[in-house]
Amino acid sequence: MPKRRFSTGRRLLVGNQSRPGTIVSVQDQPGELGEFAHQVRLDQDGQTKAVLGCDLQAFPELDEDLALRMRIP
C-alpha cells in the first residue's frame, strides 16, 4: 500500500475526529516506519502539529477535484 504524502497548501482532514487543516510542510523522505511526517495547521485553533500521512484524509478527495474540473456542461 503506497504511503500518503500530501503537498504543501493541501486542505485535508486530520485524525479520527476529522478536524480540517492545511499542510504547512512535509518531509522529503519517509521516517523509520515508512510514513511521511507532515506539519499541519489546524483550522480550529491555528496550532501547527506533526501528523503522519496515515492520519490524514484529502478534503475533498483528489478524484472529486478532478471530476469537478473535467465535467463538461
Domain housing 54: 11-70
- The answer to whether position 5 is within a domain reads no
Cell of 2: 503506497
Predicted model pTM:
0.73
- The answer to whether position 28 is within a domain reads yes
CATH number at 62 reads 2.30.30
pLDDT in tens, 28-68: 888 888 899 999 999 999 999 999 998 998 876 555 555 55
pLDDT band at 19 (very low <50, low <70, confident <90, very high): very high
- The answer to whether position 3 is within a domain reads no
Number of domains in the chain: 1
Phi-psi region of 53 (alpha: psi -120 to 50; beta: other; left: phi over 0): alpha
